């Protein structure tokens, strides 16, 4: 059983929760105007982890046949036979139920909007079959976290977290475009849609860079709407430096440093911005 759990956590890339969680915690700090109650923070954490687990499990189920054909993904748990579809479906169902219960524990608006959130994060798994803008759908799947947290804390949605949602959406889309460069030929061969497949590597990278530039602009406007202080903007400047460096690592004809750009630097972006936001609230 422990081995199956380990395989499942690896299959859903549980460690990648770090990409969205710091932005949710950032929104939590400003929505609560300080530090929220342990109960609210706890249910928000449960809701986020369970929602992401459900989305990743559903994605693995939906993409299992495609993953089996792609040399990069054929060793994943389902195509490799390490887990069964029934096991993945059971994990997804449990995660959905936990998410709905957590939303119910927070407030009525969270519970009412929970199916909408599930529709966004689960629907992404099929977006690559019909639109090259799937990167932005993925971005929104993570980007709704700051707005969702704001609703969880205040019971209403205001403009400030929407700017954070826009920033996260553009940030995720930008690095997902870069990550999809390695599947450009495969996507074209199997009729899957992505910006590299549609525009080619050179123009797709330009779109990625524009997305990251707009991300920084959205975070600046979000800081103004939040009434943030100097530490927050120091965090935005740090994020801008990390994204600039990330973009410099990826070339159309050289993807050798793609993993550093995708995993390491994006972790620095999210954790770094949250750290500076925490300093902003403390001081």
183: confidence class by pLDDT, cuts 50, 70, 90: very high
Q: Do 159 and 147 touch, CB atoms closer than 8 A? A: no
Position 276 scores a pLDDT of 97
Position 257 scores a pLDDT of 86
H helix intervals, 12-84: 21-31, 38-62, 64-69
pTM (predicted TM-score):
0.93
Q: What residues contact residue 86 under an 8 Å CB cut-off, 6+ apart?
A: none
84-108 confidence digits (pLDDT tens):
999 999 999 999 999 999 999 999 9
φ/ψ of residue 229, rounded to 5: -100, -170
Rg of the chain in Å (alpha carbons): 19
Position 122 scores a pLDDT of 96
Please give the Cα distance from 39 to 106 (Å, whole number). Answer: 9
- Evaluate if residue 259 carries a pLDDT over 90: no
Provide the β-strand partners of residue 254: 251
Residue 253 CB coordination number (10 Å): 6
Helix (H) or strand (E) holding 271: helix 265-282
Provide the mean pLDDT of the chain: 93
Domains, the chain, ranges and CATH?
Answer: 21-282 (1.10.357.140)
φ/ψ of residue 192, rounded to 5: -95, 150
- Evaluate if residue 16 carries a pLDDT over 80: no
Tokens 């700090």 belong to which residue?
A: 29
Please tell me the number of Cα atoms within 13 Å of 234 on its side-chain side: 9
Rama region for 246: left / alpha / beta (φ>0; ψ in -120 to 50; rest)? alpha
Position 34 scores a pLDDT of 77
Q: Do 240 and 189 touch, CB atoms closer than 8 A? A: no
- Within its chain, how far is the Cα of 179 from the centroid? 13
DSSP 8-state class, residue 262: I
DSSP 8-state class, residue 260: I
φ/ψ of residue 214, rounded to 5: -70, -30
> 251: helix, coil or strand?
strand
Tokens 């009729």 belong to which residue?
A: 191
């Amino acid at each position: 059983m422990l081995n199956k759990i380990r395989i499942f956590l690896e299959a859903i890339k549980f460690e990648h929760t770090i990409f969205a969680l710091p932005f949710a915690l950032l929104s939590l700090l400003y929505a609560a105007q300080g530090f929220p109650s342990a109960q609210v923070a706890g249910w928000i954490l449960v809701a986020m982890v369970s929602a992401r687990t459900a989305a990743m499990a559903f994605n693995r189920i939906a993409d299992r046949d495609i993953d089996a054909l792609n040399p990069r993904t054929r060793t994943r748990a389902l195509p490799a036979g390490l887990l069964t579809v029934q096991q993945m479906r059971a994990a997804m169902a449990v995660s959905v139920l936990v998410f709905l219960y957590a939303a119910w524990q927070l407030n009525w608006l969270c519970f009412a909007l929970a199916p909408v959130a599930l529709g966004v994060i689960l629907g992404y798994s099929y977006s690559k079959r019909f639109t090259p803008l799937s990167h932005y759908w993925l971005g929104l799947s993570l980007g709704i976290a700051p707005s969702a947290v704001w609703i969880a804390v205040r019971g209403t949605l205001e403009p400030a977290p929407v700017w954070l949602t826009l920033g996260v959406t553009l940030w995720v889309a930008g690095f997902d475009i870069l990550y999809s460069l390695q599947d450009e030929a495969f996507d074209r061969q199997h009729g899957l849609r992505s910006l590299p497949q549609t525009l080619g590597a050179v123009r797709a990278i330009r779109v990625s860079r524009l997305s990251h530039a707009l991300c920084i602009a959205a975070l600046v406007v979000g800081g103004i709407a939040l009434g943030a202080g100097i530490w927050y903007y120091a965090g935005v400047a740090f994020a801008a430096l990390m994204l600039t460096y990330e973009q410099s690592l990826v070339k159309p004809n050289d993807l050798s440093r793609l993993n550093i750009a995708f995993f390491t630097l994006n972790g620095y972006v999210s954790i770094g911005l949250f750290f500076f936001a925490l300093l902003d609230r403390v001081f």
